Amino acid sequence: MTLSIHEFTHITVYPTSTIGKGDSIYYSFSTYSIHLRHRRAKLNQDFLDIPRLAPYYSSHPIADHNLCSAIYCGLIFPHYGHFLSESIHRLWPIDRLPSNLPLLFIPLSTDLYSIDSISRNHRYIIEFFALLDIPLERIHILTEPISVSQLYVPSQASYLGPRNQISRSYIDILNNRQKLFFSAKFTSIPRLAVYRPNINRPGARGSIAGQRCLYMALSNVGFYCTDMLNLPLSYQVDLLSSCSDLVITESSAIHTLELFGTIHSRVTILHRGGYPSRQLKSYIKLLRSRKSYYRILKSSFVFPPIQFIVNHLGRTQLNRRLAISVLSPNSLSKLIREYHLDNSLFLLYYIASIRDILFFVFRELCHLFLFCMHFIPYLLWTITLKFYTLFSPLS
C-alpha cells in the first residue's frame, strides 16, 4: 500500500452510512461524487470509490457547521483491539500537516460521541492521544454533517484482516515515532507474559484450559505476568518495548503491537482455536510485517459453548470464539523447551485442563437448563394460546 494524502475542497462530511455489502462500512463525503469507506483487508475494497450511490444521499441534511480545514482520520471503535487495529492508521502524517487542524473521527457507538464520554468509558483512547502528544482540543467527533473547505484524507496505512499489506515506509514512520514518543524504562523486566483477564475463572469461555498453571510456570522462571487490563497504555508500551521475550495468549492485547515498527522481542502466541483461518493469519501478518521472530503454539482440542451465531455467510454455527481449548502436546513441549520450564508441567497442565473442561461443561449444562426452564413454559403457553384462539367459540 502506497502512502498518500488526498486533498478535497468544499466537501460535506457526513456521519456513518450503512449502505454497502457485507461488513464494509461506507462514508459519504459528498452528496454528488466522492465516497470514502473504511477498509478491511479481507475485503478487496478501494480506498476511493466513485459509486452509483449518490441518490441515497440526496435526503441527507444540509451541514449547519463549517470548518476551514480538517484531517479525516476514519472510524473510532469502542473496542481496544479494533481501535488500535483500525482507528489509528490514518495518523501517520500527523507531523507533516498543519499542527492545529481538527482531526475528524466518525464514532461507532453513542458512548464515543464526546471526549467526556470517551474519558469515562474508553480511557485507553485518551491515553493513546496523550502518548502521541495530540491535544484533545484537536479531536472532533463527527455526529452531524460538517462542511469543510479543505479536507486532507491520509490513506489507511494498515487494515484489519489476513490480507493486510503494510508498506516499508509505514514501518519506518512507526520506528521514528517510537524513538520520539516511547521510552523504555523497565529494563529489569526482560521477559513478559500476557494472559487473558479470565485467568482466575476455571473453565471460562474464550480461554485456554489450564492457563493458570502455564503462567505460574512462566512466573517461576522470571516472567512478569499480567493481563494488561488496568495498566495505562504508556506503561504497556514501555513493557513491550523493553522485553526480550513475549508470551501472549491470543487476545486484543496483541494489537498494542500495532503501535510499533520493527519488533525486536521474540513473540510466542498461545492460540485459542476459534477461527484459525482469519484471526491467526491476521496476527501472523502483524508480526511478519514487523520482522519479528514469532512462534504460534496451537491448540489440539477445542470445545465450543452451547451458543449459536450466524456467520458472515449467513450460516448458523457454534460460537467457536467463546470456546475453551487445550494446547497440543507438541505445543506444550515447545514451550517447555524454549523457556526451560520444569518437565512436570506436562502432567500438571493436562490435569488442570481436565478440571477446567469439567467446569466449562458444567456451566454450559447450567446455561442449557436455565434456557429450557424459560423456553419450554413459554413454548407450551404459546401453543396453548394458539389452540385456544383456533377452537374458541368466539373465533
Can you give the three-state secondary structure of 223-243, one letter per residue? Answer: CEEECCCCCCHHHHHHHHHHC
Q: Which residues, including other chains, have CB under 8 Å from residue 116's CB and lie 6 or more apart?
A: none
* Per-residue model confidence as pLDDT tens digits over 378-393: 777 777 776 666 665 5
pLDDT of residue 4: 87
pTM for the whole structure:
0.82
The torsion angles phi and psi of 272, rounded to 5 degrees, stand at: -95, 10
Enter the C-alpha cell of residue 11.
466537501
Q: Picking from 37-51, 86-100, 104-118, 151-165, which range would have the lowest pLDDT averaged per residue?
A: 37-51
For residue 181, what pLDDT band results from cuts at 50, 70 and 90?
Answer: low
Mean confidence (pLDDT) of the chain: 80
Mean pLDDT over 113-133 rounds to 92
Predicted confidence band at 103 (pLDDT cuts at 50, 70, 90)? very high
Fold designation for 189-360: Rossmann fold (3.40.50)
CA distance 175 to 172: 5
pLDDT given for residue 285 in this prediction? 86
Domain map (residue ranges) of the chain: 5-177, 189-360
Confidence band of 349 (pLDDT split at 50, 70, 90): very high
What's the mean pLDDT in 310-324?
70
